[in-house]
Structure 1
Amino acid sequence: MSLPPEKASELKQIIHNHLMKMDIYGKIREVLSETLREDHGPAQRVLSEDDFLNALQRRGIIDDVMKDIRLSQQKHAHGDTGSPSKGVPLLTDKQNIQMTKTSIDPSRRYLYLKVLGGKAFLEHLQEPEPLPGQVCSTFTLFLHFRNQRFHSKPVPCACEPDLQEGFLFHIHTDGAESNKMADATTMLSIRDPIHLVLIKTDTSSETTLVSSYLLDWRTVLSSPSGKTSLAVELMGVGSECKLPAGVLTIDLELYPPLTETLSHDIVSTQRTIEKQRIAERERVFLVYAKQWWREFLEIRSSNESKMVKIFAQDENGINRPVCSYVRVLRAGRLLESPRQAARFVSLLAHEKAPVVGGGDKHEQWCTLLAFLCRGKGDCEDHSTLLCSLLLGFGLDAYVCVGTKAKGTPHTWVLTQGTDGSVTFWESLTARRYLHQTIDPDAPPMASQSKPSYPYRTAGCVFNHQSFLANCQPSDSVELCVFDLRNPSRWKAMSEEALQSVCDSGATSSLPPLPPLSSSSLVSSAASNQLELEMRT
């Protein structure tokens, strides 16, 4: 079996580092000089390879090397890796953490999360045991913490799914302290949760969002051993957000361990203070939003029928300001242009939130990680993702809430150019439309352009720091003037009020945006493999 060149060079480097650690080269030089001095006179300096190997064996150096190699093999034999999207390789054993010197910086702090299995997934209580090689429905666990994304290997759906994997996270600190190892006090101030998303994939490759959970990992800071175990109860999503979906058993461990841990009361008090502060911010914003809405209705009575949406429910049934669903998202070199970003978003499937029984549409605005992991969502999910990407490209982008043909509620994206032009972006199809206003006061014989876009009314627009409601006499898109800085046409919310509840870290119910990660598929290798299979 031959290794690829890069793997061979990596293996050589690991062997070299291991031999350097044992100082094997210094020992060999000592044996060589002693052998030349003892076994040969000054006139004879010829030493055969067999003589030199016998000298190494007599002094026990070869035995020491072989024992060390066997010990390393035993330590690695019990390891099992997961499937990371990006960042540090996944590990499943403390010994593996100590052995993987290439992936660990001894001057930085790490959080090791180990999933020990699931239980009480009662929906799959009657699930038959899959036969070897049989295609069956699977569970996959996705995780995101501070710009690091991982996912587990798929396991068969069962009442007690065999989810057993480990994940190693960097605990970064920002600013001037970024080069120092994070201590307990510094880590206590890090409020970013670990976002867990459980996805079910059925036999036809259709994905379903099972649960979305925000895990506060800071309980490990009060553990004397630097390790703690948790039973995480995962709740359902949408209309089932009050019903448990199952339980995951999780171990949390800090590496290296803390020399001084915090008391349980300090950690509990810090979390309580944060919750109180967040609740107060949300209460103040709700009071402001009610007053703002009353002022909006006083402008004209017809404003009550416009599609002005200030709050929306996420997959966990939590009401959040719509501005919190949009952030500036930079795709780096993964997406080269805004049009390519629109194409990427349109390739994610469109599916409305499932609902049991009839009635109106069940609205569910998903968090970005849940949307990306499931690979499909409603028009609101597509629009907020596209708006975030366009903001990352430096465009003046907004999500527009309104209706399309037959009065169906819909969302899309609009961007404003420096010349005042307005472009509509349909996130489901990647099509773009240039907005041209129809003048209702023009003479009857004047030519009016026929709109090509499918949108009928526009009630409000928003992005990560602005929310504006349409207060023009008509909310028809054809007649709207999208001069968003004109207060007589668009009533704006206070940016300070929005910032208090929509900024990153402003509330615990707002997980930070996960980074986009490149495909794990190597296109050239996949192309060659496909060609070989077609030839066969």
Structure 2
Amino acid sequence: MDIHGKIREVLAETLRSDKGKAQSSLSEKDLLLALQSRGIIDDVMKDLRFTQEGGTDLETKYPPKPATHFIDREIVQLKKTNIDPSRRCLYLSVLGGKAFLEHLQEPEPLPGQVCSTMTLYLHFRNQRFRSKPVPCACEPDIREGFLFEIFKDEMGVGTMMVGATGMLSMSDPIQFVLTMTNTSSETTLLSSCFLDWRVVLSQPSGKTCLAVELMGVGSECKVPTGILTVSLELYPPLSETLCTDVINTQQSLERQRTAEKERLFLVYAKQWWREFLEIRPSHQSKLVKIFAQDDENGINRPVCSYVRVLHAGRPPGEPQTSGTLCQPAKPMRKLLWWEGGGKHEAVVHTHGFSCGDCEDHATLLCSLLLGFGLDAYVCVGTKAKGVPHAWVLTCSSNGSITFWESLTAHRYLHRPIDPDAPPLAPQPKRSSHYCTVGCVFNHQTFLANCQPSDAVELCVFDFQVESRWKAMSKEALKSVCAPGSTTSLPPLPPLCAPSLDPAAASNMLELEMRYLVSEHRKDLDLATVWNDHLSYLMSSALSVYELERCTAFLAVNDEFQDAVRRAVPDGHTFKGFPIHFLHRNARRAFVTCLKSPFCEEIVCCRGDHVRLANVCAVWLMFACTYRSVL
């Protein structure tokens, strides 16, 4: 349409017609009025065509993605073609980071070079997103866009448009979690913070830009880690905005209400603790922990707030598998328990949970078991040599007690010893390595051990007997631990689908391991021939090993043994070496395997018709067949 030429013509005509006015007084509004009066704007709007990128004729049959999704392209610009105009959405765009001084001397990575990376995670009202990893730097190039839906919680009105007043009552913040992954694939939690997004409700344009200061974790929770520049935009824009004073007043009332609930609970907890000490003087030394420090934000919370009913979805299949889900990849840091006047302890919140210590895994496993419908509790006590420890306890309907170790996925059936039994009466053998237990808790209950001895083998886990277990008021716990009870309690994020493809990771690890074995045998002047059929057969053996680890029951492996007998030629010998790892680093695993004389004998096997095999799937197994040469 040569729109630029037409604008220049209208501008020249307007200047000629307004000779009496000063040339500087001609404003943008005057020019727009002139363009509108000549019909140029209407012509432009008629010729515009809004099309969606990658659209096809099938879009009428298959609608586009729902409103809640990750904006992958044009991250600094909101693409409104894929948004339902009947829903209220909040578009958050990260425009970059700065002042990450810890990475000030970080060299800029060369193309293709492996380097440490940062990843940003966001959570808002049951919606979770993750950014693409970017190289660690003083000013990391984190530029991503995320689209959140703002919906009502009431039944039947979730799809209705939310107004300004309705959004003002939503105290759920946006949680930012920043992690760093080093070149060894070890993930570390860098920062976690909360953003009150309701400041955008006072902007007439529905847009605002602000700086989010990220603080450290643990002992560095008061030290800034860096700053993220964030832009917020409401779509569709509000017809009527709220006054800033109204938003500030609402936030102040929420803080006051939360502070009053926490103050009342603290008063009750102190009184409860005094009553507990009056029962028996030895209770002073028991591990009864009412509060724990949130390692992400450095805030003390009741321990019951770290447990929630968590549904793992369909993949786990049975409660026994939950123990395997909670096994650590590698401890991030040492986390200790907190008690007033005692030693310091911290617990990682669920959104920042990556690979914490026993306390974090115990709370996660308890949450999963509660989701399966079991009566589960977190136990706080000690194990061998008086080391503080946490594990999970479940009570069955028939009264039997089962201990769950989240770090190893092992289970132990508890059989208490009767101290009043005759000296010659048979007593059950000790089944677990737990020594003492001071208290148990879940999302609704907190119980302290009042029995004369806190030794696990002597404890009776009948929580209905008040002379053995002193309970805190469930109403008091609910006032500060129930979801939505206080604004300071972060909401529980849902579990995400696994980002790792197990089959692809297993195949890649197997190829890397084959290369390392071949190179090792080449250094020994040995040829290497692989038996792919034998590698396939060993997968069934690893499945049985994993099943035994998950369920603690010895599985029958007759099919694998029969298949190996058929695959090994007459006169040949078969040797296999299975081993379990908590990481996927092939070189580290290979070095560890060679420390075993039996594995070294397989890898360095000499003989006639030597055929090697290996398979990886969390487990790693080396095997070979050969005919002895005398």
Q: TM-score range by the shorter chain?
A: 0.7 to 0.9
Shift of the 212–94 alpha-carbon distance from structure 1 to 2, 3 Å rule, reads closer
Alignment of 1:233 with 2:216, yes or no, is no
- Displacement after TM superposition at 1:408 (Å): 0.4
Instruction: Name 2:118's counterpart in structure 1.
Output: 139
Shift of the 526–99 alpha-carbon distance from structure 1 to 2, 3 Å rule, reads farther
The CA deviation string for residues 93-134 of structure 1, in whole angstroms up to 9 with x for no partner, is 57652222xxx3221111111001111111111111111111
- Displacement after TM superposition at 1:158 (Å): 0.7
- Displacement after TM superposition at 1:231 (Å): 0.6
Instruction: Give distance in 2, aligned partners of 1:427 and 1:532.
Output: 31
Alignment of 1:206 with 2:186, yes or no, is yes
Instruction: Give distance in 2, aligned partners of 1:527 and 1:125.
Output: 37
Residue 484 of structure 1 aligns with an amino acid whose one-letter code is F
Instruction: Name 2:248's counterpart in structure 1.
Output: 268
User: Which of 287, 292, 295 pairs up with 1:307?
Assistant: 287
- Displacement after TM superposition at 1:284 (Å): 0.4
Instruction: Name 2:20's counterpart in structure 1.
Output: none
- Displacement after TM superposition at 1:519 (Å): 2.3
Instruction: Give distance in 2, aligned partners of 1:264 and 1:255.
Output: 20
Residue 341 of structure 1 aligns with an amino acid whose one-letter code is S
Instruction: Name 1:397's counterpart in structure 2.
Output: 376
Alignment of 1:345 with 2:330, yes or no, is no
SS of residue paired to 1:486: coil
Alignment of 1:319 with 2:316, yes or no, is no
Residue 99 of structure 1 aligns with an amino acid whose one-letter code is T
Shift of the 527–494 alpha-carbon distance from structure 1 to 2, 3 Å rule, reads closer
- Displacement after TM superposition at 1:172 (Å): 1.9
User: Which structure 1 segments of 5+ residues have no match?
Assistant: 1-65, 76-83
- Displacement after TM superposition at 1:202 (Å): 0.9
**After the TM superposition, which of the residue ranges 415-424 and 518-527 deviates more from structure 2?**
518-527
For the Cα contact (< 8 Å) 1:380–1:411, is it kept in 2? yes
- Displacement after TM superposition at 1:354 (Å): 7.5
- Displacement after TM superposition at 1:447 (Å): 1.2
Instruction: Name 1:298's counterpart in structure 2.
Output: 278
Instruction: Name 1:364's counterpart in structure 2.
Output: 346
Instruction: Give distance in 1, aligned partners of 2:482 and 2:148.
Output: 24
Shift of the 522–205 alpha-carbon distance from structure 1 to 2, 3 Å rule, reads closer
Please list every run of at least 4 consecutive aligned residues from structure 1 whose deviation after the TM superposition is greater than 3 angstroms. Answer: 66-69, 71-75, 91-96, 347-352, 520-536
Alignment of 1:245 with 2:225, yes or no, is yes
Instruction: Give distance in 1, aligned partners of 2:445 and 2:68.
Output: 33
- Displacement after TM superposition at 1:217 (Å): 0.9
**After the TM superposition, which of the residue ranges 168-177 and 451-460 deviates more from structure 2?**
168-177
- Displacement after TM superposition at 1:530 (Å): 9.2
Instruction: Give distance in 1, aligned partners of 2:137 and 2:509.
Output: 34
Shift of the 250–95 alpha-carbon distance from structure 1 to 2, 3 Å rule, reads closer
- Displacement after TM superposition at 1:522 (Å): 5.5
The CA deviation string for residues 178-230 of structure 1, in whole angstroms up to 9 with x for no partner, is 23101111111111111110001111111111101111111111111101111
Shift of the 288–88 alpha-carbon distance from structure 1 to 2, 3 Å rule, reads same
How does the TM-score come out when normalised to structure 2? Answer: 0.68
Shift of the 531–424 alpha-carbon distance from structure 1 to 2, 3 Å rule, reads closer
Instruction: Name 1:47's counterpart in structure 2.
Output: none
| Larger relative contact order, structure 1 or 2 (CA cutoff 8 Å, min sep 6) | 1
Alignment of 1:333 with 2:280, yes or no, is no
Instruction: Give distance in 2, aligned partners of 1:337 and 1:508.
Output: 34
For the Cα contact (< 8 Å) 2:78–2:91, is it kept in 1? no
Instruction: Name 1:387's counterpart in structure 2.
Output: 366
Residue 339 of structure 1 aligns with an amino acid whose one-letter code is Q
The CA deviation string for residues 358-416 of structure 1, in whole angstroms up to 9 with x for no partner, is xx986220000101xxx310111000000000000000000000000000000000000
Instruction: Give distance in 1, aligned partners of 2:242 and 2:466.
Output: 52
Instruction: Name 2:396's counterpart in structure 1.
Output: 417
Instruction: Give distance in 2, aligned partners of 1:350 and 1:481.
Output: 32
User: Would you say how many aligned residue pairs link Structure 1 and Structure 2?
Assistant: 452
- Displacement after TM superposition at 1:334 (Å): 2.9
Alignment of 1:184 with 2:174, yes or no, is no
Instruction: Name 1:432's counterpart in structure 2.
Output: 411
Instruction: Name 1:22's counterpart in structure 2.
Output: none
Shift of the 99–323 alpha-carbon distance from structure 1 to 2, 3 Å rule, reads same
Residue 345 of structure 2 aligns with an amino acid whose one-letter code is E
Alignment of 1:97 with 2:98, yes or no, is no
Q: Give the 5 Å matches for 1:513-524.
A: 513-521=492-500
Residue 311 of structure 1 aligns with an amino acid whose one-letter code is F
Instruction: Give distance in 2, aligned partners of 1:342 and 1:149.
Output: 24
Please report the RMSD computed on the Cα atoms of aligned residues, expressed in angstroms: 2.8
Shift of the 74–105 alpha-carbon distance from structure 1 to 2, 3 Å rule, reads closer
For the Cα contact (< 8 Å) 2:76–2:93, is it kept in 1? no
For the Cα contact (< 8 Å) 1:405–1:456, is it kept in 2? yes
Instruction: Give distance in 1, aligned partners of 2:499 and 2:356.
Output: 23
For the Cα contact (< 8 Å) 2:437–2:456, is it kept in 1? yes
Instruction: Give distance in 1, aligned partners of 2:333 and 2:431.
Output: 25
- Displacement after TM superposition at 1:68 (Å): 4.9
For the Cα contact (< 8 Å) 2:335–2:357, is it kept in 1? no
For the Cα contact (< 8 Å) 1:353–1:362, is it kept in 2? no
Alignment of 1:170 with 2:149, yes or no, is yes
User: Which of 441, 445, 454 pairs up with 1:475?
Assistant: 454
Shift of the 526–353 alpha-carbon distance from structure 1 to 2, 3 Å rule, reads closer
The CA deviation string for residues 38-82 of structure 1, in whole angstroms up to 9 with x for no partner, is xxxxxxxxxxxxxxxxxxxxxxxxxxxx9959x76699xxxxxxx
- Displacement after TM superposition at 1:246 (Å): 0.6
Instruction: Give distance in 2, aligned partners of 1:215 and 1:221.
Output: 14
Instruction: Give distance in 2, aligned partners of 1:369 and 1:328.
Output: 15
Alignment of 1:159 with 2:138, yes or no, is yes
For the Cα contact (< 8 Å) 1:334–1:518, is it kept in 2? no
**After the TM superposition, which of the residue ranges 89-98 and 180-189 deviates more from structure 2?**
89-98
Percent of residue pairs identical: 66
Instruction: Give distance in 2, aligned partners of 1:352 and 1:216.
Output: 29
- Displacement after TM superposition at 1:349 (Å): 3.2
Shift of the 377–95 alpha-carbon distance from structure 1 to 2, 3 Å rule, reads closer
Instruction: Name 1:505's counterpart in structure 2.
Output: 484
Residue 247 of structure 2 aligns with an amino acid whose one-letter code is V
Of the two, which has the highest radius of gyration? 2
Instruction: Give distance in 1, aligned partners of 2:329 and 2:494.
Output: 17
- Displacement after TM superposition at 1:525 (Å): 7.4
How does the TM-score come out when normalised to structure 1? Answer: 0.79
Instruction: Give distance in 2, aligned partners of 1:452 and 1:422.
Output: 12
Shift of the 428–530 alpha-carbon distance from structure 1 to 2, 3 Å rule, reads closer
Instruction: Name 2:29's counterpart in structure 1.
Output: none
